[in-house]
């Protein structure tokens, strides 16, 4: 999500400093959240600055290069596997447990798509229903 413009931030602070308006009404007037109003006013009081903060440090990736290569091998070996199955196999091989959505993001990052074979799912479901029944 993009940060709000400096122009909008300045209008919010100027309107608040003129007085006579609560933070809730200010949020409604400018169609922003109350938490944003609170944050921008606090930042203005503490630093005198209303500019948005530039993110300096990115969150490090969950998997290193070696682990990404193992993930790629897992997908190449069993392209019909679900994200949950890939996740479990990755944990067995490298000892790192990540979420299904993280597996999906990592595969997207590597431009790997998983094309499912519908007949494989039918066989899998038939086997599980026979075992349960």
pTM for the predicted model, two decimal places: 0.46
**Confidence label for 31 from pLDDT (cuts 50, 70 and 90):** very high
Average pLDDT over residues 34-43: 95
User: pLDDT at residue 24 above 70?
Assistant: yes
Residues 46-77 pLDDT 10s: 999 999 877 777 777 778 888 888 888 888 88
Please state the domain extents for the chain: 6-47, 65-118
Burial 63-102 (b: 16+ CB within 10 A, else e): beeebbebbeebbeeeeebeeeebbebbeeebeeebeeeb
66-70 long-range contacts (CB < 8 A, ≥24 apart) are: 66/94, 67/94, 67/96, 68/106, 68/110, 70/94
Residues shown for the chain: 133
């Amino acid at each position: 999500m993009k940060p709000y413009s400096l122009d909008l931030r300045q209008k919010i602070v100027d309107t608040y400093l003129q007085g006579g308006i609560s933070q809730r009404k200010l949020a409604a007037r400018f169609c922003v959240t109350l938490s944003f109003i609170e944050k921008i006013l606090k930042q203005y009081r503490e630093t005198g600055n209303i500019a948005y903060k530039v993110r300096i440090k990115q969150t490090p990736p969950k998997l290193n290069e070696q682990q990404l290569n193992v993930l790629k091998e897992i997908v190449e070996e069993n392209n019909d596997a679900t994200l949950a199955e890939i996740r479990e196999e990755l944990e067995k091989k490298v000892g790192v447990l990540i979420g299904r959505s993280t597996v999906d993001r990592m595969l997207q990052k590597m431009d790997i798509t998983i094309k499912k074979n519908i007949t494989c799912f039918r066989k899998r479901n038939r086997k599980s229903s026979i075992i349960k029944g």
